[in-house]
Amino acid sequence: MSLELLKKEGYNAELKMVINSADFEKYCTKAYNKNKGKISIPGFRKGKVPKQIIEKYYGVGFFYEDALNDAFSEEFSKGVEQIGIEPVARPVIDVEEIETGKDVVIDVKVVIKPDIEIGQYKGLEVKFGDTTPTDEEVERELENRRNQNARFVTIEDRAVKDGDIVKLDFEGKKDGVPFEGGKGENYSLTIGSKSFIDGFEEQLIGMNIGEEKVIEVTFPQEYMEKSLAGQKATFDVKINEIKEKQLPELDDEFVKDISEFDTLDQLKEDIKKTISQRKEKDATREFENDIIEQIVKNSKIDLPQEMIDTEADHMFNEFAQGLSYQGMNVDMYSKYINKSIDELKNEMKPEAEKRVKGSLVLEKVKKLENVGYSEDQVERELEQMAQMYGMEVDKLKDIFKGEQREYMIDNIILRNTIEFLKAETKRI
């Protein structure tokens, strides 16, 4: 097989692929062996019909399609690697010549990864976020700790107020008729949580245990159940129980109960340290993203739409997988937000374009600066993974061979490229 680059303009390339007749005959024989068990011809047992008889009965080109598919899939990727181009979409092929005893000639048009014109990537000045914890952040974390250790006390001598947790029975009706999914018994609801329709929780305030009431609400226009969207409805409600959240005092005794520290000041210092580490991590990630974004702005990048579409599809599949972990699928989600799957994918394309451009500039910097990796880095990566999965390093090494090891190395080189750019960038 030979593959010749005829012309290349931007990200479009045209190639000529030639499969010599002897090799193509081997692929035809392979196609025969794969399909002979499905072919019946009078006078022959199924699976025992000779290749020549099948070709005589159905035509000499009977196995050409399967043979071409096998030949192309096996040979094309090797050929483009030798030429030094990287396809980013399915090639369009046109068989120019195919005849018994002759070489097969194929015209191939393919979209390839563009060679970008990178701009300034050294000596950049990029803002690095403030990592100092604020008093408000510390107080907010202390309040979280208090809430996590709150007591819930049953109340019998007063009415419902904001912040209470109530148990109630309710039944929703539209035009006096109960609707599906609108009924609950002994349902636990935190007043002020906004987990029910606007206006529902507020109308429970002031009710006493055992009291019954009819409340009126209007469903939002974007409500997922279309028959109720924008409609007025009533709920028959009854309060069965009232509980009040009681927060512990924020003092040294509380600190001793919930932590390894003895004083409130010690806990505050530890919280400040934790917040500072979190903000440092967030600021570093934002710093890295801003460096890449600035390099993209400095560069000339003409992207084929196919690369953006492919990345958008990848992002959509990740999104769909995330939904499945939450017990939802994309069809349910699209109905809930009243958008089609195509609309969801289109909304992802600007971010997809940003990601593709970012990966292209990182790849260019890697090549220009000859960024590599060390075996020590691979060892450390394997040790960390072994610790994470509770495995022996040697067993993990047996798993991470071939393509998996190459994928790990590519990720290490990518991180090294980012580290190189960070070292070349001034923080401001």
Q: Say how far apart CA 255 and CA 266 lie, in whole Å.
A: 9
Judge whether residue 313 has pLDDT over 90. yes
d(CA 129, CA 137): 16
Residue 103: pLDDT over 90: yes
Report the pLDDT value the prediction gives residue 188, as an integer from 0 to 100.
96
User: Average pLDDT, whole number, for the chain?
Assistant: 93
Mean pLDDT over 358-369 rounds to 97
Rounded-to-integer distance, Cα 341 and Cα 316, Å: 9
Q: What pLDDT, on the 0 to 100 scale, is given for residue 29?
A: 93
Q: Could you tell me the pLDDT band of residue 158, with boundaries at 50, 70 and 90?
A: very high
Strands 104-111 and 12-19: antiparallel
**Torsion, Cα of 189, 193, 194, 199 (10° steps):** 70
Percent pLDDT > 90 in the chain is 79
**Which positions ≥6 away from 194 have C-beta within 8 Å?**
201
Q: Is the pLDDT of residue 46 over 90?
A: no
- Give 343's pLDDT tier (boundaries 50, 70, 90): very high
Ramachandran region of residue 248, left (φ > 0), alpha (ψ -120 to 50) or beta? beta
Region 264-427: CATH code: 1.10.3120.10
H or E element at residue 199: none
List % helix, strand, coil for the chain (3-state, nearest 5): 50, 20, 30
Is residue 225 very low, low, confident or very high in pLDDT (cuts 50, 70, 90)?
confident
Render 17-63 in DSSP notation, one character per residue: EEE-HHHHHHHHHHHHHHHGGG---TTS-TT---HHHHHHHH-TTTT
Model pLDDT for residues 109-144, shown as the tens digit of each residue: 999 999 899 999 999 999 999 999 999 999 999 999
Whether residue 400 is predicted with pLDDT greater than 90 in this model: the reply is no
**Beta partners for residue 151, in sequence order:** 246
**Six-digit token pair at 154?**
């049953």
Kindly tell me if the per-residue pLDDT of 67 is higher than 90.
yes
Same fold for the pair 2-111 and 151-246: no
Count of C-beta atoms within a 10 Å radius of residue 72:
21
Among 85-94, 163-172, 202-211, the minimum mean pLDDT is found in 85-94
Residue among 109, 84, 101 nearest 19 (CA): 101
CA end-to-end span of the chain, whole Å? 56
Span 69-93, pLDDT tens digits: 999 988 898 899 888 899 998 999 9
Quick one: pLDDT at residue 93?
93
The residues spanned by each domain of the chain are 2-111, 151-246, 264-427
Instruction: For the domain covering 151-246, report its CATH number.
Output: 3.10.50.40
Q: What is the mean pLDDT of residues 409-425?
A: 97
Of 79-83, 159-163, 377-381, the range with the lowest mean pLDDT is 79-83
Determine the topology of domain 2-111 in CATH: Alpha-Beta Plaits (3.30.70)
DSSP reduced 3-state for 380: helix
